[in-house]
């Protein structure tokens, strides 16, 4: 049995290509946030390509996974389709049409973006 070390890095960024929100109080155009999860792992000693699986919610024995990408040749994958919430990930290796057992599972928790441009409206 091959073991994987699966790690996750969480990123939250403002996207210029995302939906735009207008703050009418100051007429500033602000881009809506996009979220992403960057997964890294140690490749199988047998080579092959990786299939990345994701389940909604925190990892548990009853997590139901769906393949979100196949044929990943690198040791990293960025999931930019996530929204606020928790997601469970695992990966497998495919060599000559045979798929390995799954890696360890890891939970990524995406937090909402904080409010910005806090200002004092008036004070007395």
Nearest Cα neighbor of 74 from 107, 40, 106 is: 40
% residues pLDDT > 90 (the chain):
65
Q: Are 40 and 75 spatial neighbours (Cβ–Cβ below 8 Å)?
A: yes
Please write the tens of the pLDDT for every residue from 93-120: 999 999 999 999 999 999 998 898 999 9
Please write the tens of the pLDDT for every residue from 41-94: 999 999 999 999 999 999 999 999 999 999 999 999 999 999 999 999 999 999
Q: Where are the domains of the chain?
A: 6-110
* Token pair listed for 102: 């799954």
Fold of 6-110: Immunoglobulin-like (2.60.40)
Nearest Cα neighbor of 88 from 105, 100, 102 is: 105
Q: What is the largest CA-CA distance in the chain?
A: 73
């Amino acid at each position: 049995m091959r073991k994987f070390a699966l790690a996750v890095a969480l990123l939250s960024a403002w996207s210029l290509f995302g939906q735009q929100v207008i703050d009418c109080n100051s007429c500033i155009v602000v881009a809506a946030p996009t979220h992403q999860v960057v997964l890294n792992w140690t490749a199988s000693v047998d080579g092959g390509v990786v299939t990345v699986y994701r389940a909604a919610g925190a990892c548990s024995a009853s997590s139901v996974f769906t393949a979100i990408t196949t044929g990943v040749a690198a040791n990293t994958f960025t999931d930019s389709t996530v929204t606020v919430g928790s997601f469970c990930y695992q990966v497998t290796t495919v060599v000559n049409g045979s798929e390995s057992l799954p890696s360890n599972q890891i939970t990524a928790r995406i937090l909402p973006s904080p409010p910005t441009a806090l200002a004092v409206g008036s004070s007395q």
